[in-house]
Chains A and B, each alone.
Chain A
């Protein structure tokens, strides 16, 4: 069992009047993939958006309770969100490359955080990030072409490379394969397997099969509550909770 990297305690989230998360207590382990499953609108995405404070962007969203990364409280008004997000990268449901060249898509993050002072340092970061995202071979000859011109799967790997470029500790993935075909999905899953050696990964997914394939730990959310969490194997073979059992066997959701 790896060390706990992220720890949430009594986490509550409200969108205006509506409460989206209820007292979520969830520990995520270092250098491991944790999958969050559950029907749409159950709060899985809301939960991972708390980890890099992306909910700050939404005016009506209020978060209470605690989230610690390496024992440091991040749900704190005085926390520097910029450096938090440098440590916690995110990949979204729909690939969202910037309308810039492939190179500029990757170098964007390092430039913002003052990494890669010289051109050659930047080149190196771009190359390494693309290599880690298993995209380098496909795009090395066209780094100056727009990132939006790539295929959907390539775009998503570009977004993963973009997240890696600032050398984060945690990568959050919000249904990263939901807009991709099976082949592209397989590539991303392979990549996730490789990335977990270096990074702590949290992935939200609607595909049970995907959760089984990529994760070591799985959490099941329903209506804003964390119903059950445990080793992926256990959750899918022998869950404690009846509701989890029903969901993974496809009886609802």
Chain B
């Protein structure tokens, strides 16, 4: 039904465009007046007036219809003698009624349910009919209003500009509100978590074993259980593992990425550049899950084998393997960002250095790199924040046990891995175990936010210097 309505509104609006355009043209000729805007603006004006109010109404209606119907139905069911003790049971009955209406319910149907289902059908019908009627009314009213306006030769251009500006504003508002929504949901769930677990126990605890809190209602925790939980959510091993793996990744990505960036920007001929740049950038296009199984199935066992030859015990899921592969994944970020940054160092600086007799490598080392340094640091920080947020590779290759270790050959775990581990499978949404994922998410979010902020400041400062 909704799609039919949207389709009709669209068709009608579009035809109004042509109508409005030719109408104003004829008005102009007939009354021999100068129009306040090009005829097509009157067309747009009609289109916008016809479509926006009705579509907005349809959207709002569709959002609220189910909620209203549900409350009405639950009330009628209750009046007829249906018994439910809490919200969940009420929901269950409502779902049953809906299923009966759709003919997909196969349980026993008693008289209360049957009656309610009939009532449901009635309300659905009523709501749909009134929706159609109201929408047509809105379309007619707004079209009549706008036709009147254009007959008076209004300033359609200004009005169209204002409406378009409004549309653009709403779009950006949606983006911002979504971001805020995500942040707040993280925040509220985290607050719930921190109401059970002391924030200092979380931040400074050295033991991470959330499975201890398995299937436990946060509201009914006993004192003994609380003691038990107290040291189950220590954040230190996770942040240590995360930083450790990110560190290994940067050991790989920074030198290789930076050097290849320098080569691309300073040495590579145009031909080599044209071929090799896309190839490096392909690395960035490989899905991280592919890197993940490469790390887990190829690199991990390879290190294990080498380790055995040297008489070392290497866990098959090691920080080294995960960090190495993550580093390879990040190379293109570092290399293409630093390539850009180095390229935007003005040629005049290089000329100045060459003219005094410096060689190419002296010029790069002493003039180009120092000049590009803030930008390079910015690109490295962006890469770090990617490394910290990276999930798939570490889930597959780093291991799950929250070891507090600095031995790269042992398995370790990261924030992201733990979030995945906590949230896969069936969840109790009010157990501290599940909520801890939100606390981890929030921590991760804050960490990457700070890194990105610093990085962008650095890059911006660098840009200002040469613009």
Residue of A96, A100, A165 most packed against chain B (CB within 10 A): A96
Q: Looking at the assembled complex, report how far the CB atom of B179 sits from the nearest CB atom of chain A, in whole angstroms.
A: 36
Asked if B357 lies at the interface with its beta carbon under 8 angstroms from chain A, I say yes
In the complex where A59-B269, A108-B366 touch, is A96 in contact with B358 (Cβ < 8 A)? no
| Contact with B362, one of A84, A112, A159 (Cβ below 8 angstroms) | A112
Tell me how far the C-beta of B103 lies from the nearest C-beta in chain A, rounded to whole angstroms: 75
Q: How far is the CB of B200 from chain A (nearest CB, A)?
A: 45
Report the Cα distance A21→B168, complex, angstroms: 55
Contacts of A112 in B (CB 8 A): 356-358, 362, 366
- B53 touches A (CB below 8 Å): no
Q: How far is the CA of A64 from the CA of B370 in the complex (A)?
A: 36
Stretch from B155-163, B224-232, B286-294, B343-351 at the A interface: B343-351
**Residue A231, interface by CB 8 Å:** no
A217 near B: Cβ within 8 Å?
no
Distance (whole angstroms) from the CB of A170 to the closest CB of chain B: 12
Is A182 interfacial (CB 8 A cutoff)? Answer: no
Interface residues of A in 154-210 (CB under 8 A from B): 159, 162-163, 165-166
Complex CA gap A83/B359 in Å reads 11
Residue pair A99, B370 in contact (C-beta under 8 Å): yes
A159: chain B residues within 8 A (beta carbon): 352
Contacts of B358 in A (CB 8 A): 82, 108-109, 112
Q: Which residues of A contact B359 (CB under 8 A)?
A: 82
Nearest A residue (CB) for B350: A57
Within 8 A of A (CB), among B323-382: 346, 348-359, 362, 366-367, 370-371
* CB pair A54 B355 closer than 8 Å: yes
User: Majority SS of interface residues in chain B?
Assistant: helix
Q: Are B357 and A92 in contact, CB atoms less than 8 angstroms apart?
A: no
Interface size class of A (residues with CB under 8 A): 20 to 34
Among A82, A89, A92, the residue within 8 A (CB) of B351 is A92
Q: Is the CB of A108 within 8 A of B350?
A: no
Asked if B357 and A113 make an inter-chain contact with CB atoms under 8 angstroms apart, the answer reads yes
Contacts of A97 in B (CB 8 A): 352
Among B269, B346, B353, contact of A108 (Cβ-Cβ < 8 Å): B353
Please, which residues of chain B bring their CB within 8 A of the CB of A165? 356
Asked if A5 CB lies within 8 Å of chain B CBs, one says no
Q: How far apart sit A166 and B355, CA to CA, in the bound complex (Å)? A: 11
Find out whether the CB atom of A162 lies under 8 angstroms from the CB atom of B356: yes
| Nearest-neighbor residue (CB-CB) of A60 within chain B | B270
Cβ-based interface call for A94 (8 A) = yes
Q: Which of A84, A86, A94, A98 contacts B353 (CB 8 A)?
A: A98
**A-side contacts of B354, CB under 8 Å:** 54, 57, 85
- B87: interface (CB < 8 Å): no
Docked complex Cα distance between A162 and B348 (Å): 14
Residue in chain B with minimal CB distance to A87: B357
Report the separation of the CA atoms of residues A57 and B149 in the bound assembly, to the nearest whole angstrom. 67
Task: Flag whether B122 is at the interface (Cβ < 8 A).
Answer: no
> Is B31 at the interface (CB under 8 A from chain A)?
no
Report the bound CA distance from A97 to B349 in whole Å.
7
Residues of chain A lying within 8 A (CB to CB) of residue B366:
108, 112
Q: Which residue of A lies closest to B362 (CB)?
A: A112
A141 to B359, CA, bound (A): 31
The complex places the Cα of A59 from the Cα of B272 at a distance, in Å, of: 14
B376 to chain A, nearest CB (A): 13
Q: A52-B355, A85-B356, A108-B353 are in contact. Are A96 and B346 (CB under 8 A)?
A: yes
> By the criterion CB–CB under 8 Å, are B356 and A98 in contact?
no
Q: Is A42's CB within 8 Å of the partner chain B? A: no
Does B355 contact A163, Cβ atoms closer than 8 Å? yes
Known: A85-B355, A89-B355, A98-B367. 12 other contacts (CB 8 A): A82-B358, A85-B357, A92-B348, A96-B352, A97-B352, A98-B349, A98-B353, A98-B370, A108-B353, A108-B358, A109-B358, A113-B357
Interface pairs A-B: 3 shortest CB-CB? A85-B357, A90-B355, A96-B348
Between A and B, 24 residue pairs with Cβ closer than 8 Å are: A52-B355, A54-B354, A57-B350, A57-B354, A59-B270, A81-B357, A85-B357, A86-B356, A89-B355, A92-B351, A94-B348, A96-B346, A96-B348, A97-B352, A98-B349, A98-B353, A99-B465, A108-B356, A109-B357, A109-B358, A112-B356, A159-B352, A162-B356, A166-B357
